[in-house]
Structure formats: C-alpha cells, structure tokens
Structure 1
Amino acid sequence: MKTLFVSDLDGTLLRSDETLSQFTIDTINELAKRGILFSYATARSLVTAKKVTKGLNSHIPVIVYNGTFVIDNATEEILIASYFDEGIGEVFYDLLKNGIYPIVYSYIDGVEKFSYIPEKCTEGMKFFLDTRKGDKRTNEVRTIEDLITGKCFYITCIDEPEKLEPFFEKFKDRYHVVYSKDVYSDFQWLEIMPKTASKANAVLQLKENLGCDRIVSFGDGANDIDMFQISDEAYAVDNAIDDLKTIATGVIGSNDDDGVAKWLIANIERL
C-alpha cells in the first residue's frame, strides 16, 4: 500500500508563532529519506508557504490557496489550476455594493498579484497586509476597475461578521467558500474560490498522479473539512475546531506539541 500524507500548515504543522519546530523538520525530512510521500495543503500562497517551511525537504508537489493550485515545489510550475469564469463579476458587484472591498488574487500580464485599495482597508485587512510587507505580489490600486483586472483565482474579504455572513450563505453553493476566523487574530474572513478549487479535489488529483492507494491527512480548521472527508484516515490536532474533531479518525497532540510529527513516528511502521 502506498500512502500520501498531507498536512495543513497554519494551526497544524506550524506552531502558534508561525514556525516549524526543528523536531518536526528533522522528523519529516528523515521519513522522506526513507520514502514516505509527505506534502502540505494550505490556504497560503507558495511564496509565504515556502518562507514558513524553510528547511523542510518536500520533494513532491504541494497544494496552495486552499486547493486552487497544485505546484511543483522544486520548479514552481503550476501543475493544476482553477480560475474564475466571467460570472465572477457579479460577486464583485455584490461585495462592493455592500461596502466590502476584497483583496483580489489574480494573474496580471502573467504575473501573480494580490490587489487592494489602501484607503478601503479594514483593520483586519491592515493586520494581514502588515504580515505581507515586502511581498513582490503586492499591488496597491486606486480604482475598482484596477482591483478586478487580470485572471482572478481567489478573493479574500476581511470584515465584520454581520457583513460577511450573508455572502457566505449566498455564494456557498455556487463557489467554494470558506467562512472562518483567522488563526492568528480574531478577524473574520470570507474566502471565495472557484467551485473546483478545494483541498479535497487537489489531494485526490495528487494521489492519482503519484499512484497512491491511501490518504492520511492532518488539520485544524474549517478549510480542512473537505480534505478529511476524502481521506482514509484524518487526524485533528488538539487545538482544532470541534467540527473537525467530530469527523476525524482521531485527535492528536497540538500544533505546539509537534502533534503531526509525533503521530508519524508512532504510526509510520503500520502504514
């Protein structure tokens, strides 16, 4: 049996300070040398995922933007991609009409960018953008036309729950929508992706491409639920939300206690 191991990053593999412990790095690297197939599936971009996983030797493709892209970790070639169709204009119209100004991720002239209007930023957006200072993808714009230009693949709204929740209900059946609080702050996020973009779809495609028989996954949040549902075994870290623990195969140690790495050491022989 050939098993694909996939872990979420923030709140799962990463500690609460957004770092990997040396124990986790050494454990996964040693197991990778022995031939296990270990990848990650994150809401982050490849740019920020690589920063926080420095030292981790991931030789197989990784999943970013909640499954929007599967990317070769070595060459950075996009292997699988999901983009919005022209109907996304209606979403932008609804959000802007209701005073919600999103961060829009797009390819503009072939270059990945995230665009936003600085004077329309909420406190939550400012908090997020502060963590991305110096990011080469940053694209400050002044007009709505510039905000929604390019080939769009991801929309992030950070605002008050009473403003965002109605749009979660409105768009959840048409798109892949994640409505949750940021793991590092108390700000409410609404993330909108193409319907085909999900951790579950990306993991299943990666499983097929690698010729694996089974999937074992690890996670902590709402965006891991669909991945858990298609896994043969799925483990929630101790700090995970209750909804994820309910559907998990089991609950393991917390992200701050190297829960994933310790589980791998204890169980790798049976897999």
Structure 2
Amino acid sequence: MANKTLWISDLDGTLLNKEKKVSDYTKKILNEKIAEGLCFSIATARTPATVVDMLKGVEISVPVVVMNGAAVYNMATSTYEHVNYLEIDMVKVIENLLKEKKQNAFTYCIDNNQLIAYHGAFTNEAQKKFYEERQNNPRKLFKAEETPLDARVAYFVVIGEEEAVRSIYEVLKGYDKVNQVFYEDIYNAGVYYLEIYSEEVSKANAIKFLKKTFGFDKLVCFGDNYNDIEMFEMADEGCAVANAVEKIKELSTQVIGHHNEDGVAKFIESKWQK
C-alpha cells in the first residue's frame, strides 16, 4: 500500500499481549516494515507515562494518540503536539459534582510538556493501587493537592465500584461540553473507570489531526473495544482482533488474529507493500 496510508493500533487487548507487552515478534515485524516506509502509530487511552516504556524498542516515527484522543504526543521529541482541554466552566461543574458525591478523581493537566495528576485522599483500594503502580514514573507527576485555578485540565479519571462511578457518569450525560468513557477494567473485574474529556476529544478526532498534519489519505486501524468505535467508523479498513467485542467486529472490514497471538503484526506482515 502507498506510504500515505496511516496504520494505527489500539494498545491494550490489541497490540499488547496478555502480559501487557509488545512481543519480540511484533517488535521485529513492526520495525522491519517501518524501516521500509510503513507509517505506524498508536491510539490508546493510556498516557505517555506508560506508552513510552511499553513501546520501547519499536521505532515509531509518527506521533501517537494518547488519553483517548485528548492529546497527540511526539515520542521522538517528548512533546505534546496537540491537546484538547476541558473548558474552565465545565471543570468547575465536574469538581463540584465530585465533592457532592464524595469521590476522589485524578485530574490530569499538562504544564510545559509535563503531565501532572492532581488528586485528593483515596476513597478506595483501586485508586491507591492505580497511584502506586504509576507514582515513580518521571513522565507523570502525582500531586496530592487541589488543582491550581490556572491549570488547564485535559481530563479527569474516576476509579471505583460500578454504582459509585456510574452515578457521576449519569449526571454528566446531561452536559454537552463533555465526552465520557465509562468501562470496566479489563485486568481487574469489578473495578470501573470513568474518563471525562472535552466534547472534542475522541480517538477519531485526534487521528483526523494526524491525517491533516501529515497528509495521510487512507486509514487502516486495529482495535478491540468500545472506545475504538469512532476510529473504526472513519477508517478505510477496520481490523478487529479475534478477542474484540462484538460491536467492533460488526464495524470491522475483517477480523484478524488474537491479541495474544501477534494478530496485528501478522496482518501487517501479510498486507504491507512498499
């Protein structure tokens, strides 16, 4: 296929195996094809704090879509090339709702290319675990303090039991200025996440930014879950891994191999042409 094609993959449940790693085989295939001219990128809910380490050894040359499309991050220069922030009035609405519900959230801000997560006292073990697994990463600073009034908020993350998290989700559904992603953690049954973004935020919109910036005229995407829906709807080819939810399989142009069997890499190896 022509070099003006962007090949973009989700991470968890798609490019990553069950150990949350990019296998040596997948790294080998991707690097071979990237060296030949493949334009490959990632679209993930994760932040650069974990994405950079997970993709270590993969020579990605195109900026990656992170935080479900809230930002586009250049791994080569360690800079955020594009960020969609929440409007200030909406930030206040969300903060007041969280106080009313007595829920802690991680409030993600970007200051001079540094990702900062402000938070209050943890209200459940899942929040504590989330913090402990990420606290020593220099690409993400945690601060146990109120979000500064002049901070620009990229998004909020609420973590907890389904009922508590859903109650916030249901209230915010009444607002036009937010886009929410509500889901169960695929690695921890019973733990639910709510990510709250600007209404402009989606993987699809961030990919549109990449297409416009770099002049891509075709999109091939890989995914497995509900936050990939808009990406699949805009793609010329949507490849659902074998373990994908049924909705993604319905939207796909083809179902490929399982995420734990290098499905993405094997498909690229078979289809990519210089």
- Pairwise same-fold verdict (TM > 0.5): yes
Match of residue 178 from structure 1: 181
- What's the CA shift for 1:93? 0.6
Residue 61, structure 1, aligned to residue 63, structure 2: yes
Cα distance in 2 for partners of 1:127, 1:148 equals 27
TM-score normalised according to structure 1 size = 0.92
- What's the CA shift for 1:47? 2.1
Match of residue 161 from structure 1: 162
Among the aligned pairs, what percent are the same residue? 33
Matching residue within 126, 139, 143 for 2:142: 139
- What's the CA shift for 1:170? 3.2
Match of residue 21 from structure 1: 23
- What's the CA shift for 1:147? 7.5
Q: Deviations over 1:135-159 (max 9, x none)?
A: 23332425xx348772211110011
SS of the equivalent of 1:224 reads helix
Q: Deviations over 1:70-89 (max 9, x none)?
A: 12221122221111111111
Which residues in structure 2 correspond to 1:13-92 (within 5 Å)?
13-87=15-89, 88-92=91-95
Cα RMSD for the two superposed structures: 1.9
Matching residue within 125, 128, 138 for 2:127: 125
- What's the CA shift for 1:251? 1.6
Cα distance in 2 for partners of 1:206, 1:146 equals 30
| CA 1:109–1:72: 2 relative to 1, 3 Å | closer
Q: Deviations over 1:115-137 (max 9, x none)?
A: 222x3332221222232131233
User: What is the letter of the counterpart of residue 42 of structure 1?
Assistant: T
User: What is the letter of the counterpart of residue 102 of structure 1?
Assistant: A
Cα distance in 1 for partners of 2:150, 2:41 equals 32
Gapped regions of structure 2 (runs ≥ 5): none
Worse-matched range after superposition: 58-67 or 163-172: 163-172
Gapped regions of structure 1 (runs ≥ 5): none
Match of residue 247 from structure 1: 251
Cα distance in 2 for partners of 1:25, 1:46 equals 18
